[in-house]
Amino acid sequence: MSTDEALSADETVSADEIRAIELLGRVSYGRVATSMRAMPFVAPARHVVADGRVLLRMHRGLGYHRACNGSVVAYGADNFGSGTERIWSVQFTGTAEIVEPTAEELAAFGPEPVRVDGEPFTPVFLRIEPQFVTVHELDYSGRPEAGSTGHSEKRPEEHSEEHSEERHLHHAA
């Protein structure tokens, strides 16, 4: 199922969610974050998008899937190392659940690693049902010339606070 087909099934999908899913499709790996024994941790994971939800493949041998299963997690991916002038970061926050992927979903993941930290790779799959989705984009394409401060002529108090407040409320909702 394509991203467009998955998204058209849910009429309440926001523009940020559509953009986040499109960007997530550009990279293969991200990081899942939750807590284990009351301590935060972040672990790498391979992802695909299926039916508007994020499906993760992790190594069972690390045990991180047990902390994620049934818990609220955050999954983030970005293009920070791409060398482009337009940097983006997406985050999906929601409840994770261990699942058995379909044959189509398994094929979408592609080849598995042979080893993780020296031991044979054994996959486990988690699906995240997103409750919150955020997208951040940094644009370096209009960087000022050397010697310029790059600051706009407006003083900070003159910048519209309305957009900033609206953006904050969107992410907090």
The CA R_g of the chain, rounded to the nearest whole Å, is: 19
Q: What is the pLDDT of residue 11?
A: 52
- Stronger pLDDT, 144 or 99, i.e. the higher one: 99
Q: What is the pLDDT of residue 168?
A: 36
3-state helix, strand, coil in the chain (%, to 5): 25, 40, 35
| pLDDT tens digits, one per residue of 32-81 | 999 988 899 999 999 999 887 899 999 999 999 999 999 999 999 999 99
Q: What is the pLDDT of residue 16?
A: 86
| pLDDT tens digits, one per residue of 70-90 | 999 999 999 999 999 999 999
Determine the Cα–Cα distance for residues 168 and 124; give it in Å rounded to an integer. 35
Determine the Cα–Cα distance for residues 39 and 44; give it in Å rounded to an integer. 17
